[in-house]
Structure 1
Amino acid sequence: MKVIVASMSKCGTKTLHKCLETLGYTVADFDHHTFQDREEWEKILIYGSSSEQFYKMYKDIDAVCDAPAFYFWEEIATAFPDAKVILTTRSDEHAWVKSFQDQMNGFSSSWLVRLCYNLTPTGRQARDHTRRFGRVLFSIPPQGMFQVLYQPNKDLLRRRYREHIASVVSRCSEDRLLLFDFRDGWKPLCEFLGKPIPDQIFPHENKAGKISSTVWDLEPFRRMKRELYFGAAIISAFASISCVVLLKMIV
């Protein structure tokens, strides 16, 4: 583990993910935490964490970002004392809440997402996992992230945002922390990480929450769709056979 992105979701984490990959790092993002390390994260979210757990999970990964890893940045930093920490923010907590809620609304308004999260094995696992996020990250009764942010307690979310940023800034040593502004481009990021500046335009990922439409490119979500279509095919075949049998009985 070389880099810990302590930024909250919707603070440019997908842009940082792209930057780090461009610089040659392997990155564990939301989908990695939710699907590949789901069992380990469930233990952490329910029972608490240890340095040994984080070391085991991420010893072969260069960088982590997004939920729920950002919330445990300090514990991960303890497990990897040489890792550097990057923090990005929105213009203020109001802009963050709006951006996060807009993205969640994009997910929750999709019937395909709703069907996958409720009718497929992979989707139900993800649904149950994100319910724990709401309890741990926002200290609210267990419910899905879609529900949390579709009708959120905005006062609580803004407080969480402020508290998280204050915690990172006050508790991470200055020589280990980069407060990164995307408007500054590659230079401060590359200098902080000791990397040459890439010969390409600085990226801007997940603009206006577009990930809600591109998330289906990820393998776990493609698997959800396959499971959904397979289940629909089984139901359709069963219905057809039942109709044939019923017709024969009538005739």
Structure 2
Amino acid sequence: MTRRTGRTRPAKVFGLGLSRTGTRSLTAALGTLGRDTLHYPTDRAALDTLTRGDARFPHLDHYAGMTDITVVPYFRELDRIWPESKFVLTLRDDASWLRSCRRHWAEHPVDVPATDEKGHVYLQVKRFLRAAVYSSHDFSADRFTMVHRLHVESVTRYFEGREDDLLIMNLGAGDGYEQLAPFLGVPAPHEAFPHVG
């Protein structure tokens, strides 16, 4: 695939790692590097964009990018809408990732009643994204393992020949600012890479 030349809109950075792969940590690190990035928006504007399916998130008028599974179904569209953007795929070893997902899904079910409009919209976003990304509202180790494998294959195939546009990071294996800062063309800070729950 040939990369477009000329910049019609400001470049963005998108974290397209699956849930529990360090997307919050990536978001915090991007902030430290001067990229004010939004993690997993769950407001009405996000829901409207998700259900329209056009990836034109109004949040990106104010943020330098977005991370987590909000990006996953739409990374191709975001690449087209925001030319010259950078993409970061966060990974985690399978066993640790599955344990974390199992716990997270148990602690954050989608079949609870909402107490207000904000909670109702949040649950709709969560249900939509779990269905869109994992094809299920419930945790399944087999399904999640398959989804993870297919997602990594899809992302790496899409960005093949465009190594300057995709960075793959395994935060658990020690990847940090030494990889992320040069990828974004900024100096690496002296502080430790954030590890946010």
What is the TM-score with the length of structure 2 in the denominator?
0.82
The structure 2 residue matched to 1:49, chosen from 47, 54, 70, is 54
Query: Runs of 4 or more off by more than 4 Å in structure 1?
Result: none
Which amino acid in 1 is paired with 2:31? E
Give the aligned residue type for 1:189: L
Match of 2:191 among 170, 193, 200: 200
Higher share in strand: 2
The CA distance in 2 between the partners of 1:73 and 1:61, in whole Å, is 16
Q: Which moved more, 1:118-127 or 1:83-92?
A: 118-127
More contact order relative to length (CA 8 Å, sep ≥ 6): 2
Match of 1:78 among 77, 80, 95: 80
Aligned-pair identity in percent equals 25
Q: Which residue of 2 is the match for residue 101 of structure 1?
A: 102
The corresponding residue for 1:15 is 25
Indicate the SS of the match to 1:119.
coil
Instruction: Indicate whether 1:159 and 2:146 are aligned.
Output: yes
How far does residue 36 in structure 1 lie from its aligned partner after superposition? 5.3
Q: How does 1:33-72 map to 2 (within 5 A)?
A: 34-35=42-43, 37-44=45-52, 48-49=53-54, 53-54=56-57, 56-72=58-74
Q: Choose from 158, 170, 180 the match for 1:189.
A: 180
1:105-159 Cα offsets, whole Å, 9 max, x none, are 2335xxxxx5xx522221122122322223222224xxxxxxx33xx33222211
Q: Any stretches of 5+ residues in structure 2 without a counterpart? A: 1-10
Give distance in 2, aligned partners of 1:128 and 1:57. Answer: 18
TM-score scaled by length of structure 1: 0.66
User: Does structure 1 conserve the Cα–Cα contact (< 8 Å) formed by 2:17 and 2:67?
Assistant: yes
What is the RMSD of the two structures over their aligned residues, measured on CA atoms? 2.2
Unaligned runs of 5+ residues in structure 1 are 109-113, 141-147, 207-251
What is the number of residues matched between the two proteins? 182
User: Which structure has the larger Rg?
Assistant: 1
Structure having the larger proportion of residues in helix: 1
